């Protein structure tokens, strides 16, 4: 639990003390070093965030080799995994996130088709 709390605190610090917003997205992407799928996922999610979210969104990229304890806490098995804890219910999107439309649907930005 300690890990979780520190991470949350750290994430909050990163965006300053701005009040929580309903549509504020908090995303964590777990990757493993510089594997092709990891690199692709990082690129894809950055693009998605830039194009769809305002600057209030939080995106944290965690390298499981560097921070294995975070991966453990978040029950990460597959790599890459994008975890979305807010604003909707916990979602895990695994894969290189190459299908932008589906990612947006999963994140609740776009309605389901």
Partner 1 sequence: MPEANNSQSVLKKCKTGIKGLDEITGGGLPERRPTLLCGGAGCGKTLLAMEFIIRGAVEHNEPGLFVSFEENKEELTQNVASLGWDLNKLIEEKKIIISYIYIEPSEIKEMGEYDLEGLFVRIDRAINSIGVKRVVMDTLEAVFSGFTNMTILRAEFRRLFRWLKNKGVTAVITAEQGDSTMTRHNLEQYVSDCVILLDQQIKETILTRRLRVVKYRGSNHGSNEYPFIIDQKGISVLPITSLGLEHEVSTEIVFSGIPRLDTMLGGNGYYRGTSVLISGTAGTGKTSIAASFIQATCQRGETCIFFAFEESMNQIIRNMRSIGIDLEKWVKNGLLLFHVARPTLYGLEMHLVTMHKLIDEFRPKNVVVDPISNLNAVGTTYEAQMMLLRLMDFLKARQITSLFTDLTVTREVIDQTEVGVSSLMDTWIVLKSIEAGGERNRGLYVIKSRGMSHSNQSREFLLTSNGLELVDVYVGQEGVLTGTARFAQEVKEKERTLRLRQELESKKRELERKRRIMELQIESLQAQFEGESEELETQIQSYELAENRLDKTSLRMAELRKSDGM
Stretch that binds partner 1, among 5-13, 19-27, 48-56, 70-78 (CB under 8 A): 70-78
Query: Site for partner 1 (CB under 8 A): which residue of 1, 21, 95, 113?
Result: 95
Which one, 61 or 94, has the nearer CB to partner 1? 94
**Tokens encoding 50:** 């830039």
Minimum CB–partner distance for residue 78 and partner 1 (Å): 5
3-class state of residue 59 by DSSP:
strand
β-pair partners for 26: 58, 86
Q: Compute the distance between CA of residue 99 and CA of residue 93 in angstroms, rounded to an integer.
A: 11
Query: Site for partner 1 (CB under 8 A): which residue of 12, 24, 90, 112?
Result: 90
94 counts as binding partner 1 under rule CB under 8 A: yes
Query: Between vectors from CA 29 to CA 107 and to CA 112, what angle results, nearest 5°?
Result: 15
**The tokens 């300053």 sit on which residue?**
16
Residues 27 to 46: which contact partner 1 by CB under 8 A? 30, 32, 35, 37, 40-41
Which one, 21 or 65, has the nearer CB to partner 1? 65
Q: Compute the distance between CA of residue 33 and CA of residue 51 in angstroms, rounded to an integer.
A: 25
Query: Site for partner 1 (CB under 8 A): which residue of 6, 18, 34, 98?
Result: 98
């Amino acid at each position: 639990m300690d890990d979780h709390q520190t991470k949350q605190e750290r994430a909050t610090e990163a965006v300053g003390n701005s009040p929580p917003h309903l549509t504020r997205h908090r995303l964590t992407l777990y990757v493993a070093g510089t594997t092709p799928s990891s690199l692709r996922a990082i690129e894809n999610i950055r693009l998605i965030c830039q194009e769809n979210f305002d600057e209030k969104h939080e995106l944290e990229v965690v390298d499981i080799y560097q921070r294995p304890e975070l991966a453990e806490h978040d029950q990460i098995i597959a790599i890459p995994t994008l975890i979305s804890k807010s604003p909707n219910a916990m979602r895990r999107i695994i894969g290189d996130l190459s299908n932008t439309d589906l990612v947006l649907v999963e994140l609740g930005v776009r309605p389901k088709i």
